[in-house]
Amino acid sequence: MIGRLARSLPYALVGAGAVYLYVVAGQFEFHRRGANLGPDFWPKLVLVLIIATCAWEIVRIALVGVRREVAGVLQEMVEESVREHGDVAAGPEARSRPLLLLAGMALTAFYVWVIQALGFFLATAPYVALFIALGGYRRWGVNLAVSAAGTFAMMFFFMKVVYVSLPPGQGPFAQFTFWLMQLMGIR
């Protein structure tokens, strides 16, 4: 019995923390815009899912107790694969590339620095394209298309669906952002 209580304690603590944060999220002050979701909706949704998961695990531990270890299942799958295909894990060792890591960190720091001036779209699309290129992908047309379309989709999702305010930029960059927002039907 003590073992079951010990295994359920982390779920109880996380669930209690989520309940507290749910209460805090209910105290957000904001101006409600018609039937639109407020900024409290998404945090509350995530917290409800966390609370439900924790409650489920506490009940499962109390009723079922020990579950079958996933490692055992994965071990069986690996052993079966090795029998069928041989050991492919002995392939070439991955190289460490600290300069690429530093370049990625510098690119990310630069992105954070320019996003307020350029706005979300005009800062994110080049950032994603350069990050993909830094990773070694050299099909430039595909890279640029994925970067632009992905940034456009993220902007639409965050601003139209989730109602997250993204930086519009300054001066003519803001005008471009507002034009994109109008194109997407975002007010």
Asked if residue 62 is part of any domain, the answer here is yes
159 within 8 A of 147, measured Cβ to Cβ: no
- Give residue 121's pLDDT: 95
pLDDT beyond 90 at 66: no
pLDDT attached to residue 85:
73
| 78 vs 98, higher pLDDT | 98
d(CA 173, CA 117): 7
Higher pLDDT, 71 or 154: 154
- Contact at 8 Å (CB) between 25 and 40? yes
Domain boundary among the residues 60, 85, 110 is at 85
DSSP one-letter code for 36: S
Q: Are residues 78 and 105 in the same domain?
A: no
From CA 173, how far away is CA 167, in angstroms rounded?
10
**Residue 74 forms part of a structural domain:** yes
Which of 85, 116, 146 lies at the terminal end of a domain, its last residue? 85
Place of tokens 């003519």: 172
Residue 23: inside a domain, yes or no? Answer: yes
Residue 20 predicted with pLDDT over 60: yes
Structure tokens that stand for 138 in this block: 């050299």
- 90 is a domain residue: no
Q: How far is CA 33 from CA 10, 13, 119, 170, in A?
A: 39, 35, 24, 26
pLDDT of the residue at 87? 66
Q: Cα 173 to chain center, whole Å?
A: 26
Q: Domain span at residue 56? A: 2-85
Q: 91 in a domain, yes or no?
A: no
Q: Which residue has the higher pLDDT, 127 or 70?
A: 127
| DSSP for residue 157 | I
* Domain shared by 75 and 15, yes or no: yes
As for how many domains the chain has, the answer is: 2
pLDDT reported for residue 46:
92
Instruction: Check pLDDT > 70 for residue 147.
Output: yes
- Is residue 92 one of the residues assigned to a domain? no
| Helix/strand/coil for 45 | helix
